[in-house]
Each structure stands twice: as structure tokens, then as C-alpha cells.
Amino acid sequence: MTSMNSGTRSHPRAGRSCSRTGCRSVATKTLIYVYADSTAILGPLATFAEPHSYDLCETHSSRLTLPNGWSVSRIEPGVGEVGPNDDDLMAIADAVREVAASTASSALYDGSTHSTGDSAHDQSGAGQSEIGRRGHLRSIPTDLS
């Protein structure tokens, strides 16, 4: 059995690394450039890594320099801000409503239904397991007797 020396073993780190070349620090901020407005936005670390954004550590985010004529917007989260805010939740709800409305209108236009065409099968117990089926979501009755 080999002994493990904790000084030579590399440990996995939690979080993403800083995007700056050669920096191995953990990222704490996300930088996004808005080229049309000549603006850089530096905010809290994004939930997911995006291809056109840069994750920066505290050191590199504090030393950020921009080209002449560019401005920076530093967004600092409030003390109690954790998770999505009301605007984020409303945007998600609006997107879901829009998709549901377009799906319902296209189903009515196509004349498509979820029926198998066999009325005996649709009225049997197996057909009841798909009551209220809508896309990938399904409502299953609690009393199957």
C-alpha cells in the first residue's frame, strides 16, 4: 500500500478559475463587454460560464483597465440578494407563457390531438394514466382504482 503525501497530491478546487492567463485563483466576478456601447460590465460571478464573458478573481477584477473612451459598470449585489430577483422570475414566467401560447395555437391550427384514435383504448385504465398530458409534463391521477 502506498502512502499519500498531502503535499504532493493535487486537490480539486471548488468553482471556476480566473480567465487571465497564468492565474490559478478562484473567480469571483464576471466581466462582459458591450461593444456597441463601449462599456464593460463587471458583476458577480455568473451561474454558468459563457463563451463571451470572462471570469476574474478579486485581484484582477480590482485592477481592471479599459481602452480610452470605454466606461465600466460595476454591479455589486446587495446584502440580502441571493438567487433570482423579481424581474428574473417575471421574465421566466413570460417566456413560459409565450411558448405555451404558441404551442397551443399551433396545435389548434394543425388540428393535432394527443388521442390515439382508438376510443376503446382512450377510455381504458391505460389511457387514464395520461390525463392532462401536455408536452413533456404529465398529470397522473392519485386514485387509479
34 and 70 together in one domain: yes
70 and 101 together in one domain: no
Decide which of 59 and 6 is more confident: 59
Query: Is the model's pTM score more than 0.75?
Result: no
69 and 97 together in one domain: no
- Structural domain count of the chain: 2
Longest dimension (CA), the chain: 74
- Which residue segment(s) compose the domain that 92 sits in? 86-122
Residue 46 pLDDT class (50, 70, 90 cuts): confident
- Give the helix/strand (H/E) hosting 56: strand 53-56
Is residue 98 a part of any domain in this protein? yes
70 and 91 together in one domain: no
pLDDT at residue 67 above 70?
yes
Cell of 74: 460595476
- Give the helix/strand (H/E) hosting 32: strand 29-34
Is residue 7 a part of any domain in this protein? no
Contacts of 75 (CB under 8 A, 6+ apart): 41, 42, 43, 44
Is residue 47 a part of any domain in this protein? yes
